[in-house]
A and B are shown apart, each in its own frame.
Chain A
Amino acid sequence: MMLGPSLPEASSLSPLWLVPAVPLLGAVINLFSGRRLGRSAGWIASTSVGAAFVLSLWLVIALLERSAESRVHIQHLFDWISVGRFAVGADLRLDVLSATMILVVTGVGLLIHVYAIGYMEGDRRYGRFFAYLNLFVFFMLLLVLADNYLLLYVGWEGVGLCSYLLIGFWFEKTENASAARKAFVTTRIGDTLMLIGLALIVAGFGSLDFGAVLGAPGDTIAKGTATAISLLLFAGAIGKSAQVPLHVWLPDAMAGPTPVSALIHAATMVTAGVYLVVRSAPLFELSGVALTVVLIVGLVTALFAATCALAQDDIKRVLAYSTVSQLGFMFMAAGMRFYTGAMFMLVAHAFYKALMFLGAGSVMHGMHEETDLQRMGGLIRRMPITGWTFVVGAFALAGVFPLAGFFAKDQILEIANHTGRTWIYLLGTLGALLSALYIGRLVFLAFFGSPRSEAAEHAHESPLVMTVPLLALAAGAILAGPLLSTSAEGTLARVLEPVTGPVPHGEGLPTLALSGIATAIALGALALAWWVYASGRVEWLTLRERLQPLPRAAGSGWYVDRAYSTVFVNPGAAAARFTANVFDTKVVDGLVNGVGTGTRRLAAVGRLLQTGFVRSYALAFLLGAVGVLVWVGTRL
């Protein structure tokens, strides 16, 4: 007999289910015996993610060996829910899009796991940390491998849960616990809207399978429905990917351990929103409105967050705002239907942003948890590996040729220009300028100039287990561009085409001219940053004082948090108090108590029948039997 799930037909891709299963196994082992394992917990976790990476690599190669049209493999694990005619299976889908994602998740994830072995050294809940980290990788893989929206949603909520657990990992500090709660609640707004979107999909298609929903959605649903579904899904993406106006949780989420920031809040989880939009592209394309909204939200976020990043003094908060801004660029690309550009930026960003987060962690490690840029300076002499790899990451982000970020940003701006969106091109270029400026500021303040504190003078380089991942990520940041995508129709774009459709075409300025402008802007901004922050010719603190209140406003994220607490949180709390004290006690409780009392009275009467005497039970039995017989008799 078959008690287990039915195994699919054998094929070279049939070990697909192992990809999420192995990290899950690691999580289970660490969760239940993490305390006893001691240091080996980290190695177990890293090995499980490493195994998943090797497996993914093997599967992706097998997938690419197929012809372009047949690069889809769907693995049915078991029937998950079947109620009436509505059925959802636990199905995994490996196609070029999810292949890209699993490589990023397991590859970057592996390096971050190894790094964390050194970084978390000596923590009280060492095993627990790696259990959560493995669990996160499992849910993330589930999210990107899901073949239906429900399984995707399970992964989506799962990564949210892990994010919550890891942001508040050092929950002894109140500020960490409240940051975790803020992240959870804020993303929940998006998630709830997304869930409504899923309900609309069920109503419209009678199924949640990607195959049924995304095949030819125009045949089944009207344009208005498509707009509604797309916008609701995008609301989920806004929450998860920290886009305006739900971006407020990400900077606070930096309270978590730095490997968490690198893995969850830079490389993987926050990009789930981009993945969702790219995956659901056929729905979005049905409605021009939805794509326009994606484009505008992306553009606004990219610019807005860049200005905030420019004024942060906390090294991790600079990177957090930078992540928000970069995600905005990805959504811009998706909004222009340049999905391959969004995906390429996602991959490139995973490398260089993870690299910089880990570098920041290394700096904190060498300086006794110092995060204030004002107290750094000249670190490159003390920590050469951390410093130079960080410079690579920063240059990649700024868009210096031939690093990954150059190609990614350049192509997005090129498509904007070539599809006739001149304003988008100009504003995007402004965003690129700001990016180069804030990252140049960060690099020159932290690593160059002279040390501005005791700790900075005595900083020390981190151990090999931390610096090797930095070097590997730096290599990725350098090579990702030339290897994957040297032009808008490069290797990655060609591979992804079966899922994402062709790259939009158009006429505009020649590619070479655009590249020249981009390079000039990047180098100019970096030079400006050097002049202000590291040349020693400008008193940047005095300059900042003279520009007040601008830097203060930008530093606080343009007071969005304060506005939210005035507009939503305080009235909300007041309303909640009113509800709890007046409405609930008087009206709701009154109603509930009324019903409750009524039922209780009824129950009390019923209890009288339950006398405890066998003879009365037998009488009731007899009456029941007579009742049944009489009833049957009347029908004869």
Chain B
Amino acid sequence: MIGQAVLPTPELVFEPLLPELVLVVFAMAGLLYEALAKRTEAVVHLSIGLVGVVLAGGTSLWLWDWDGPATVLGDAVSADRFAVLARLLLLVVAALGLLLGHQYFARSGDEQRGEFTPLLLFATSGMTLIVASADLILTFLALEILSLALYVLTGLTGRRAANEAAMKYFLLGAFSSAFFLYGVAMAYGATGTTKIAAMALALTGTGEAQALAVLGFALLAVGFAFKVSAAPFHMWTPDVYQGAPTPITAFMSAATKVAAFGALIRVLDVAFQALAWDWAPVVWGLAAASVVIGSILAIAQTNVKRMLAYSSIAHAGFILTGLTAAGSAGIRAAMFYLVAYAAMTVGAFGTVMVVSGRGEKRTRIGDYTGLARTNPIAAALMTLFLLSLAGIPPTAGFIAKVNVFSAAIDAGYWVLALIGVVTSVAAAFFYLRVIVLMYMQEPEPAAPSLTEKVGIGAENSATAILAIPAAATLLLGVFPGVIVGIIRDASVLRW
């Protein structure tokens, strides 16, 4: 009998996986270049990375009009427009991360730049895979791919703080992975499958296995909450964001959220859509805890990176606020928020990188005193991003907040929206405090002008990169309509 019990082989349709394949190939190319070349040039690494990201973006774009089956490779990978949009967003963030990192390592002269590009591409491939994953096993696999790469990236410079951050991230990440896996097992127990579409079918109209399924969802939610740094699973965030090299913080703060929320949206709105009444309160609680804890603790911070880390916790809460509305209304609000959040957080951390100088010596909030005098462009950029993070018009952050609040209110969760509005007001305090410092106080006499330290060229090109998120932040704030149509198309999950 052995030999006959071979699994049925699925038809191999690889096209919807092309972006990931491209990314992995280019990451390997980067590794080989680093391993085999006698003298490596940073520019070559950057080119390999950028070409890979652009090609991956091209293949993703091509998938927008994919008319093949909704899911391929044994229903493990979905080929819908949601995945395309999330991938494109991730790839843009990755490109910005590559450019910023290139500047960062060129400035500090660190040796480790060789691993930077391949690791970032590996992380990105995990992220783009997770948003397209239609099978919880594959989701877990992608989660590990992106996490492992991020752990190493966090400790890339080998500085004490970076090492500590990497270690903490790794230990807690492993801890959360266990919860996630346990959740997968529970969900499998409840439905007899790990495929998201099949789970949705199995859960529709059954009463028997609901308890196990809800338990499974709760454990999965814990795993995702860790990744998106929602309270109370957020403790690692400030330490890791502060310890990691700033361009990597910029990359992971934006991209990890997009990836994890992308996967969470599939789990919520496809796999467990039948249980919306059961999961909505869990999302509600996580959202409320995140906005409150993130906003309040940010006030006590004296380090800008740490402050932005708490702010990212609060933003995770705002996105969850939008997701309390089941179905495409919530998806639309969350997607818009993710796009806006990606632009403003990459921009904010990028500006922090420009200001911090070699060796990240200037990351205290006090270092921003009088920045408008010593570096007016960086001060203006920082102001824009902070206003957007605070949700003040005419920036993307404002429109994004309006969207999630109105989604929550339409779904009947007006108390949550109220909590969100109140904490937004409190949060404005710590954003505006930085702006006041930059513009209304004189710089400390000892504060050196940035250009002396870094050289005008390096600073200018880093600032030029930041023009992209700055433009996006403004454009989405003034003309949110330009992407509404795209998001509407992408908010339909095919399964």
Contact = CB atoms under 8 A, between A and B. Distances in A.
A and B touch in the complex (CB under 8 A): yes
A633 B225 CA distance: 19
B444 interface: no
Interface stretch (B109-117, B134-142, B168-176): B168-176
A112 B457 CA distance: 41
A84 B410 CA distance: 9
B179 interface: yes
Contacts of A81: 399, 480-481
Nearest to B84: A1
Contact of A621 (B175, B239, B293, B486): B175
A607 B300 contact: yes
A636 B214 contact: yes
Nearest to A601: B300
A423 interface: no
A190 interface: no
Given A603-B299, A607-B297, A612 B426 contact: no
Interface stretch (B49-57, B230-238, B258-266, B359-367): B230-238
B414 interface: no
A79 B476 CA distance: 12
Interface in A59-91: 78-84, 89-90
Interface stretch (B190-198, B215-223, B316-324, B445-453): B215-223
Contacts of A6: 485
Which among A6, A607, A616, A625 has the greatest number of chain B C-beta atoms within 10 A?
Answer: A625
B388 interface: no
B167 interface: yes
A603 B171 contact: no
Contacts of A599: 296, 299, 426, 429
A614 B484 contact: no
A263 B165 CA distance: 61
A258 B74 CA distance: 74
Given A1-B65, A628-B222, A617 B482 contact: no
A612 B239 contact: yes
Contact of B222 (A80, A606, A624, A635): A624
Contacts of B278: 632, 635
Contacts of A620: 232, 235
B402 interface: yes
Which among A83, A621, A629, A636 has the greatest number of chain B C-beta atoms within 10 A?
Answer: A621
Prevailing SS type, chain A contact patch: helix
B482 A78 contact: yes
Contact of B167 (A2, A89, A600, A614): A614
B235 A632 contact: no
A79 B167 contact: no
Given A6-B485, A599-B296, A602-B296, A621 B480 contact: no
A621 B485 contact: no
Nearest to A84: B406
A80 B215 contact: no
A604 to B, nearest CB: 6
Contact of A604 (B210, B300, B481, B489): B300
Interface residues of B, number: 53
B61 interface: yes
Contacts of A602: 296
Interface in B147-178: 167-168, 171-172, 175-176
A509 interface: no
Interface in B463-495: 479-482, 484-486, 489
Counting chain A residues whose Cβ lies within 8 A of the other chain, the interface size class is 35 or more
Interface in A588-636: 596, 599-600, 602-604, 606-607, 609-610, 612, 614, 616-618, 620-621, 623-625, 627-629, 631-633, 635-636
Contacts of B484: 79, 82
A631 B168 CA distance: 28
B235 A610 contact: yes
Contacts of B61: 1
B357 interface: no
B299 A83 contact: no
B311 interface: no
Contact of A614 (B168, B210, B402, B406): B168
A612 B210 CA distance: 39
A563 interface: no
Contacts of B236: 617
Interface string B391-429: 000000001001100100010000000000000001001
B264 to A, nearest CB: 14
A79 B485 contact: yes
A83 B300 contact: no
Nearest to A80: B481
B215 A606 contact: no
A627 B232 contact: yes
Contact of B218 (A604, A612, A629): A629
Contacts of A635: 214, 278, 281
A89 B479 CA distance: 10
A79 to B, nearest CB: 4
A624 B233 CA distance: 7
A621 B226 contact: yes
22 contacts: A78-B482, A79-B481, A79-B484, A80-B479, A80-B480, A81-B480, A82-B481, A84-B406, A89-B481, A603-B300, A610-B235, A621-B233, A621-B235, A624-B222, A624-B225, A624-B232, A628-B221, A628-B282, A628-B285, A631-B281, A632-B282, A636-B211
List the 3 shortest-distance A-B pairs measured between CB atoms, nearest first: A603-B300, A624-B232, A79-B481
Interface of B: 61, 64-65, 167-168, 171-172, 175-176, 179, 210-211, 214-215, 217-219, 221-222, 225-226, 231-233, 235-236, 238-239, 278, 281-282, 285, 293, 296-300, 399, 402-403, 406, 410, 426, 429, 479-482, 484-486, 489
Given A82-B484, A620-B232, A636-B211, 17 more contacts: A78-B479, A79-B481, A81-B399, A83-B403, A89-B481, A90-B481, A600-B299, A603-B296, A603-B300, A606-B293, A614-B171, A621-B176, A623-B232, A632-B218, A632-B282, A633-B215, A635-B278
Interface of A: 1-3, 5-6, 78-84, 89-90, 596, 599-600, 602-604, 606-607, 609-610, 612, 614, 616-618, 620-621, 623-625, 627-629, 631-633, 635-636
